[in-house]
Chain A
Amino acid sequence: MLDTELVVGVRKGEVDFAVVIENFRQQVHRWLYAMVGPGVDLEELTERVFIRAYSRLGRYDPAKGSFGTWLHTITHNVAVSFLRERNRAPESLDAMTEDEAPTCAGPSEQHEAAEARARLYQRIDELDPRERHAFIGRHVRRLSWRKLAAEMGCCLRSAHYWVARAIAELRKGL
């Protein structure tokens, strides 16, 4: 079932919201971990995200963007609120308005950027594990080809191959 169908099903009372939680829990957990760092009760924050999402589900408009983007915006805002409570929010992390269509259709560059980020996350999640390993190693961790090949246990050209495959897949979403 597509994410949009899932959300529509929840609204109609045909699908339990627990299914949405199950589908997105790991993703939300990972986003939160990256934004707030270690040593934080991520389960509590994850719960906040889903409570907020559930209470505002009626405002989500599938025509304006993916559910993943919308949920990412909520996750982002929960993380920003948490960091502000702890007085260490980076200034660059501003809260976004999930109530006003956090999508590519909105006029705000911030929303377009959020949509682009969500698409990238989704594409990376969909990569073959070996492609993802190669892509993260090369483009995120900035490993040299030699180090990446050593880490992957392959030759240099194979490292090129796996990253190239990942790039070819990711490009489709940009």
Chain B
Amino acid sequence: MCRERKDEPDLDFTDEELDVYGDFSDAVLGGKNPDIEEYMKRVPGSGARLKSLLEGEALVSAEVARLRAYYPGVDLARLLDPDWRSRRK
């Protein structure tokens, strides 16, 4: 694991949770409607933290989709990212 860990236990996801999250995110962004309970079964005992993360993924993805529909043709990365210019340099 090469990530930096932070001192926030509720956000310090396990490797298994992150793997499940990655797959769930692929499904959501792929336009599917994945069943959260099914993904949670892959990490027995994970509980509320993983469920909250997966629900968050679905909710935030829906918000971004609404934003995309609201601003057709607008580069959302420019709209949302205050660091956009510096990143492009």
Contacts and interface: CB of A to CB of B under 8 A. Distances in A.
B52 interface: yes
Interface residues of B, number: 46
A11 interface: no
Contacts of B26: 145
**Which of B11, B69, B81: most chain A Cβ within 10 A?**
B81
25 contacts: A26-B82, A30-B84, A33-B79, A34-B75, A34-B79, A90-B72, A92-B70, A116-B63, A133-B83, A133-B87, A136-B80, A155-B3, A157-B15, A157-B18, A157-B22, A158-B2, A160-B25, A164-B11, A168-B52, A168-B53, A168-B56, A171-B55, A171-B60, A174-B59, A174-B60
Interface of B: 1-4, 6, 10-11, 13, 15, 17-19, 21-22, 25-26, 29, 52-53, 55-57, 59-61, 63-64, 66-67, 69-84, 87
Given A160-B19, A168-B11, 12 more contacts: A27-B82, A30-B78, A31-B79, A34-B74, A117-B67, A136-B77, A140-B76, A158-B4, A164-B53, A167-B60, A168-B52, A171-B60
